[in-house]
Structure 1
């Protein structure tokens, strides 16, 4: 028989919490990518890796927070721990591929499109791999048209996020971009979930393997959430992101002295000598003739 699928078991709590985690991961990831653009002397690979891990953890955490609110009324739901962890690895690695393409090869339309497709497919793969970890006493079916739509949404969202990362550098604009990214990623998730239908085998329970949502997902979510909080601390206290591009690009006093020293000594003397000679000449006209500046 057809099962009763409910994706909002706890009302608006899980969708809102999922959206906030997607926004947090997106915001941290975008700021890390911006960090590599503000200073070419920074450890680019490290910041890009931190950005990819932040976005991947944000998307994965969003998915499984939303899945806590998912239920099939007629049967229990359990999760395979191995596939759940694998979906996290896929999210981070594939998002990382897209981020590194843009970070090292530039933000040309071709690179953005290629990286956006890879990243979007990675987000979709994480979603459906996470769904494959779901075990219940029934058969899960998908509407192929809605699945295709969810993949398109994932690709568009990923491309837009990468474009925002290399185009928008201000804090408030990056924050706005992360909020939009959170809407797109969360929308992709619930679009994919709307494709789900379940044919229940029976209501007598089952002995299938796996852990319940509360016993598996809540402890596993703790790690990525802590990582996102620590990444937030790193981003918040990084001097370049706090001070902004202008303060770091302004030449220091030492740099100004070095630049002046690298110029021609004659140029400096020509800028100062006439003023000194004219002042001395005003005091002693007889001294001025033999010490006049040569033209």
Structure 2
């Protein structure tokens, strides 16, 4: 028996929310990667790890926000927590490999392409592992052509987003990269859902469903799972928003220390030192001026 699949039980609310989650998390994660590339004083592993975790959580959150609106007429849906957790770990680790490759090998064409492929595969892997976590009285089947289309869309859009973020600076490039990553994430999800068909098996009467699953709805199951990743994304946003390079906008770090230049008027010129920042992932073992000689001689 063929089940009737509905991916828009709440209309446009869940697609819009999932795209918003994808775009915001992508903006934050890509900003961390670009930050590690353009400022050598940064603690590179910290920014890259934050970027990987943010992009991975964004991929996972986007998928399960969209799944809140997923229904199969006549049967309830539950989720295997082990596979659901595995899909989150897969997203973070796979995106992290691409991020660290760009961070340490540089924004070369080969590295950006490889990182884009890995990020796209993170999106695909998260989606289909998340779908494998579904527990229902039926079997999931996919149209092969649509699955291939979802993979191509994920890889292409993710690669374009990384190229845009790493190759151009300024707000327009950051916005464009975020929008592209949003397309990669949500486009892959809904293309994959278009490939889905469900074949029901056995009894689907109300007593069977109530005995097996209780009265839980997809929203009541998924929303508690989303709390942790959403809180992490908020904290990540706080860290990135207080980054001085983001505040300056164009990355001109020389504007971060005008007061110090005025205070040193009339003092013999010393070799320029790297500007210091108050960012969370900055090394603090070389404070400015601690060993400076006495003035007024």
TM-score w.r.t. the length of structure 1 is 0.82
Q: In 1, are the aligned partners of 2:157 and 2:183 still within 8 Å (CA)?
A: no
Q: CA deviation at 1:85?
A: 0.9
* Aligned residue-pair number: 260
Aligned residue in 1 for 2:68: 68
Highest Rg: 1 or 2? 1
1:248 correspondence with 2:249: no
Structure 2: runs of 5+ lacking an equivalent = 273-297
Q: Residues of 1 paired with 2:236 and 2:54: CA distance?
A: 7
1:235 correspondence with 2:247: no
Aligned residue in 1 for 2:221: 216
Aligned residue in 2 for 1:225: 230
Q: Residues of 2 paired with 1:10 and 1:221: CA distance?
A: 18
> Where do residues 83-232 of structure 1 align in structure 2 (5 Å cutoff)?
83-201=83-201, 202-204=203-205, 205-206=208-209, 213-232=218-237
Q: In 2, are the aligned partners of 1:102 and 1:162 still within 8 Å (CA)?
A: no
Q: Which runs of 4 or more aligned residues in structure 1 lie more than 6 Å from their structure 2 counterparts after TM superposition?
A: none
Aligned residue in 2 for 1:257: 269
Q: Residues of 1 paired with 2:268 and 2:37: CA distance?
A: 24
Structure 1: runs of 5+ lacking an equivalent = 261-295
Superposed CA offset, 1:36-90 (max 9, x none) = 1231111011001111111111111010000010000121111111111110010
**Could you say what the CA RMSD is over the residues aligned between the two structures, in angstroms?**
2.2
Q: Residues of 2 paired with 1:165 and 1:128: CA distance?
A: 27
Instruction: Describe the shift of the 1:110–1:72 C-alpha distance in structure 2 as closer, same or farther (beyond 3 A).
Output: same
Q: In 1, are the aligned partners of 2:170 and 2:250 still within 8 Å (CA)?
A: no
Q: CA deviation at 1:182?
A: 0.7
Could you tell which deviates more after superposition, 225-234 or 205-214? 205-214
Instruction: Describe the shift of the 1:159–1:213 C-alpha distance in structure 2 as closer, same or farther (beyond 3 A).
Output: same
Q: Residues of 1 paired with 2:180 and 2:102: CA distance?
A: 20
Q: Residues of 2 paired with 1:116 and 1:31: CA distance?
A: 15
> Where do residues 22-33 of structure 1 align in structure 2 (5 Å cutoff)?
22-33=22-33
TM-score w.r.t. the length of structure 2 is 0.82
Q: CA deviation at 1:209?
A: 7.6
Could you tell which deviates more after superposition, 133-142 or 151-160? 151-160
Q: Residues of 2 paired with 1:4 and 1:90: CA distance?
A: 30
Q: Residues of 1 paired with 2:242 and 2:85: CA distance?
A: 30
3-state SS of the aligned residue for 2:269? helix
Q: Residues of 2 paired with 1:144 and 1:190: CA distance?
A: 15
Q: Residues of 2 paired with 1:74 and 1:154: CA distance?
A: 32
Aligned residue in 1 for 2:283: none
